[in-house]
């Protein structure tokens, strides 16, 4: 999977962590380190990622349901487009069998499409209320060593 760079994606831009702390995934079948080397983000970089997420959500929440549905379907298509790369990397990081990984990718894509269908049925029309206290949504400062790439973002569980 040549797209892995070891950088954090903050506000759409690849960013190197500045803490000096490095880590890498380990292949559980061989015990060998996998490239690339990842760089821990600073607290300021995590805060910048949270702010970028907040700003993105501010515009996303105003989109009509059909546009949100289109966005979710695009995510599903993009995941499916790299299924071969995902199978290779997830297998390296977890030692899960190819069929298991493919079924998890399929399940994840179907979930995105299911939520897209719900939005198109009109269930996404209710405006968000700013006066209701709730935890922040959409921001994840992710620690993922030996975790499936898609799964840590979209709900895989290793059993």
pLDDT tens for the 159 residues of the chain, in order: 457 888 888 888 888 877 778 899 999 999 999 999 988 888 899 999 999 999 998 888 889 989 999 999 999 999 999 999 999 999 999 999 999 999 999 999 999 999 999 988 886 555 555 555 555 555 455 544 444 444 434 444 444
DSSP 8-state secondary structure symbol assigned to residue 146: S
State pTM to two decimals: 0.72
SS3 of 15-44? ECCCCCCEECCECCCCCCECCCCEECCCHH
The alpha carbon of 1 is separated from its chain's Cα centroid by a whole number of angstroms, namely: 16
Q: Residue 140 burial by CB count (10 A; 0-12/13-18/19+): exposed, middle or buried?
A: exposed
The answer to whether 41 and 9 have CB atoms below 8 angstroms apart is: no
What CATH number was assigned to the domain covering residues 8-154? 3.40.605.10
**What ranges do the domains of the chain cover?**
8-154
Residues 13, 7: Cα–Cα separation, whole Å: 9
The confidence score (pLDDT) of residue 93 equals 93
- SS3 assignment for 48-89: HHHHHHHHHHHHHCCCCHHHHHHHHHHHHHHHHHCHHHHHHH
């Amino acid at each position: 999977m040549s797209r892995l760079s070891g950088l954090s994606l903050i506000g759409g831009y690849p960013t190197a962590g500045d803490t000096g702390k490095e880590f890498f995934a380990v292949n559980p079948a061989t015990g060998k380190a996998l490239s690339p080397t990842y760089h821990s983000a600073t607290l300021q970089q995590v805060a910048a990622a949270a702010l970028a997420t907040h700003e993105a959500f501010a515009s996303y929440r105003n989109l009509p349901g059909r546009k949100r549905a289109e966005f979710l379907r695009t995510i599903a298509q993009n995941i499916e487009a790299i299924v071969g790369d995902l199978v290779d990397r997830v297998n390296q990081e977890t030692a899960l069998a190819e069929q298991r990984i493919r079924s998890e990718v399929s399940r994840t894509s179907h979930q995105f499409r299911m939520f897209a269908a719900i939005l198109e049925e009109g269930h996404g029309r209710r405006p968000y209320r700013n006066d209701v206290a709730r935890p922040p949504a959409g921001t994840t400062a992710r620690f993922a060593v030996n975790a499936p790439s898609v799964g840590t973002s979209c709900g895989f569980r290793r059993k």
